[in-house]
Amino acid sequence: MKAELGLLMLIGAAFAVAPAFGESAGVADAIKARHGHFHDMGSDFKAAGDQLKSAAPDLNVVKASAAKVKDAAAQLPSWFPPGTGPESGLKTRAKAEIWKDPQGFSAAAHSFQVATVKLAALTQSSTDLGAIRAQFKATGEACGACHDKYRVPKD
């Protein structure tokens, strides 16, 4: 009787754990995809920044990069499905605060989105280098504002 109960519990436990195993593959993929998205956003940001650093920037490059950053930013909140934080045990710099403080995280993501929309719009409509450079800087600061709170600093 005791043995049977033990076996039943074992089977029950196996069923309870099984979905978690199935999920962990999804979690790993989600984290990997997130890193890919941020990598691409960094690359686009650099492409725009490289131009804006120079005396005679190619504004078409800036415009294209700003549009890509804006599109990516719109998707950004969806890159953080529940379970993809530090509790996953996988390599991620995402802090648990993202899910503990969803309103704060949404607000930070939103202000970043607003900044990227402004930057993209400005590069479409204007060739005023001073204004574009200022908005580029503001967008970078909006990235940083979120990272300060919701990303683990590098050692």
- What residues line the site for other proteins (CB under 8 A)? 38-39, 41-47, 49-50, 53-55, 140, 143-144, 147, 154
Rounded least distance, CB 76 to other proteins, Å: 13
**What is the DSSP secondary-structure string of 43-94?**
HHHHHHHHHHHSSS--HHHHHHHHHHHHHHHHHGGGG--TT-SGGG-SS--B
DSSP symbol at 128: -
CB of 141 to other proteins, least distance (A): 9
* Closer to other proteins by Cβ: residue 82 or 144: 144
Q: How many CB atoms lie within 10 A of CB 5?
A: 9
> Residue 38 or 99: which CB sits closer to other proteins?
38
Q: How far is the CB of 60 from other proteins (least distance, A)?
A: 16
Nearer to other proteins, 11 or 74 (CB): 74
Closest distance to other proteins from the beta carbon of 11 (Å): 46
The residues near 68 (Cβ < 8 Å, ≥ 6 apart) are: 40, 41, 44
Q: 45 or 105: whose CB is closer to other proteins?
A: 45
